[in-house]
Each structure stands twice: as structure tokens, then as C-alpha cells.
Structure 1
């Protein structure tokens, strides 16, 4: 596809999601996709090679959870090449975003993307999730691990009134039943990602016994 076709696909998808983004968001999102494509050959950042599919399966899939993101700080765990953290940071600037991944090559890409795209307030750390310190209003995880495992490894990162957003494909019925007792499922949303026929779900969790002050 041409650059114009990719831009049209992205803009149509954003409109279908009902989102209003800053004027600079679309060019930055396209620049991020282009950078991802350039680095992918050497660093094997994503198995999705087709540019149009990258728009759908990476950018629009990440942006689909934007209405559920709350708070002033966000940690994206097992972010890989920055998904959903970088699209979310581009779409809603001003939030402090920490991108976490244990893979050194991916973190080198993340740091180059942050520098190239001029993403203020965004940083990347190479670390196992369980070794990361801090408390965050919102924690995101996309195809990272089971709900039980991700909460066991990273539950300490969620602020008392924070909101955990776990991105899943099919509805993980068995995983929902195995959520640790210290946490509670607040909601499960079926996501309609424009151009994507595969099922997508968002599981929203918080600390048990607390209402989330961030409005999740």
C-alpha cells in the first residue's frame, strides 16, 4: 500500500473507534509504524510484516483501549516493540509512561522510537516485570501472560485505586476464574477493532475491596 493508503486506513480506523486525537498524532503513529518496519528485519520485533496489517493489528488494536485508560501514570508490561504503550502515548500525550520489556533488542528499539518521535514523559526499561519498582495509576499488558501470572509478577505496580487493563483475544473464561483473591475483575469489554475479524477483549481489574478512583 502507498503511504496515502496507509494514512487513510489509519484515519478511517480512528474515526470508526470514535476517537479524537491531537493533530500531530496520525503523522507520529505512521512514523512509528515506519520505524518499526525498518528495524524489524534486523531485530525481529513483530511477526506482522504487512504494512496494512500493522496499521490494524498494532496501531488500531492498541488505540481501541484508549477510552479505558485513566490516571497520570501508566506502565506497559511486556511491551515488546511498544504495544500498546507507544500508540497510547502518542494518542494522549501528557501522561508519564514506562515501557517494560526484558528483551534488550526491543528496549533499544523503544529508546530509539522515543527519541525519534520526541515522546516526552515516555521511558523504557529493560527488566523483568517483577523487578520493576513504582506504583502506577494504570497498567497495561497485551498478550503478555495469563491473568494470574501477570498479576503475580506485576501486581505490586498497581496503585491502590489503580486500573489494570489486560488485552486478550478470545474471552479468557478460565483465566477469569483464576484471578488472585487480592484483585477483582471490574469489567470485561468486547473490543471492535476496525478491519480485524479476530475477537478482542479487554479485562479491567483493580485491587479487591477498593473502588477504582480512576473511574475504570
Structure 2
């Protein structure tokens, strides 16, 4: 089997273990994204993960694990880096408007190339600090770039009324829960079982009230 065939088998098994159904062609697009990220990474240092099989686990499957909690027609991925979880979520639901935000110019250049080459017509890349973003989104995702208090302090205004914020964390963030500001309610904290990943993953689901 070729290297890509092995990665495809790993990805398909992981998707099956997650119980996730994806649109036709999604697996090929996810692997195209992984290849592009691997290629750019040598020059741009976009992620500390170098091994393609580890990318499938730590980037693709880790992102896809939150699909059951994503809702609404518009999503913002804050501090997206090289598009995680934004690109996999956009591939999984290509009709959703996905806005990926990062302040790092190299990462945003990569994002724009990924959006173009993968033909993600409803995905957008914005170079900005979180505080500078404008708009209102049904769903916001963020991968552990700050405490819950700081995340919501910087970006909470972007969440639509009754919208859902999905904070991707490693270990259970028990000590951060008291910092959730008024107007937001922790709806649940879910242990995520990412196939092949020997590390803790939790998803904090926060609802904007009103």
C-alpha cells in the first residue's frame, strides 16, 4: 500500500470509530489538506506535528470529533492556526459559512491557499486578533489558546444570542469554570475519545443566553 493508502485506511477507520458520516469526497479532501499542510510545514513551521499519520490523528480526527456539537449556519474558528478545526469542519459541512481567524500572516496565507486548492467556497480566512473581528456567528470554535474567561472576554461578543461556543481543551478545565462571565452558561463538558490519541481531550460547550 502507498503512504496515502495507509493514511486513508487510518482516517476511514477513525471516522467509523467516531460514528461520523461525511459527504462524498470528504476523505480525499481531508487527505489533500493533510498533504498540503505537511508540504508547507517544512518551510513555514505551521504545526509541531511532523509525522503524516500523527497529523491524521491529532489534526483531522481531533477536529472531526466535535462534529456532533457543531450547530447553525455560520461558524467562526478563533485562533485557527493552520485551519484547525476550521478546515476539517468546512470539508465535513461545505454548505456552512466558516470564518477562520488568526493573527499570524504565514498561517493565514496557508489558509487562503488551502481554501483555494480544496475549493471550499464557503470558507474564509481573516488575519486579525480576536478582538478586531466583526460579525455574529451561530457557533464559535477555539482550541485551548486561552482560559475560558479570556476566550469569552475577547470573543464572546461575536457569538449570536443562544449561540454555542465550543472550547477544545486537553484535561478537564475544572478550575476555569468559575471564570465564565455572566450571560454565558456552561451546558456540558464532554470527554472526547479521539481514535488513536493517547491523551485527554475535553470539549466545553457554552451557550450564550438571551
Residue in 2 aligned with 1:73?
74
Between the aligned partners of 1:104 and 1:135, the Cα distance in structure 2 is: 23
Question: What is the rounded CA distance, in whole Å, between the counterparts of 1:82 and 1:42 in structure 2?
Answer: 17
Task: List per-residue Cα deviations over 1:63-87 (Å, max 9, x = no partner).
Answer: 0000110000000000000000000
> SS of 1:107's equivalent?
helix
CA shift digits 1:54-107 (9 cap, x unpaired): 000000000000011000000000000000000000011100000000000000
Residue 113 (1) aligns with residue 114 (2): yes
Displacement of 1:172: 0.5
SS at match of 1:105: helix
- 1:2-56 deviation per Cα after TM superposition (whole angstroms, max 9, x unaligned): 1111000000000000011111100000000000000001111000001100000
Residue 13 of structure 2 is aligned to residue 12 of structure 1: yes
Two-structure CA RMSD over aligned residues (Å): 0.9
Alpha-carbon offset, residue 199 of structure 1: 0.6
1:143 deviates by: 2.1
Task: State the alpha-carbon separation in 2 of the partners of residues 20 and 149 from structure 1.
Answer: 34
Provide the rounded CA distance (Å) in 1 between the counterparts of 2:49 and 2:147: 22
Q: Deviations over 1:148-189 (max 9, x none)?
A: 101000001000010000000000111112111221101111
Question: 2:48, 2:67 → 1: CA distance?
Answer: 24
Give the paired residue count. Answer: 209
Structure 1 stretches of 4+ with a deviation exceeding 4 A read none
Match of 1:86 in 2: 87
- TM-score in terms of structure 1 length: 0.95
Question: Which residue is 2:124 aligned to?
Answer: 123
Counterpart of 1:205? 206
Unaligned ranges ≥5, structure 2: none
Partner of 2:60: 59
Q: Hey, what's the Cα distance between the residues in 1 that align with 2:55 and 2:177?
A: 29
Name which of structure 1's ranges 124-133 and 182-191 shifts more when overlaid on structure 2. 182-191
Q: Which residue of 1 aligns with 2:27?
A: 26
Q: Any unmatched runs of 5+ in structure 1?
A: 211-216
> Helix, strand or coil: the match of 1:22?
coil
Provide the C-alpha distance between the structure 2 equivalents of 1:144 and 1:183, rounded to a whole number of angstroms.
19
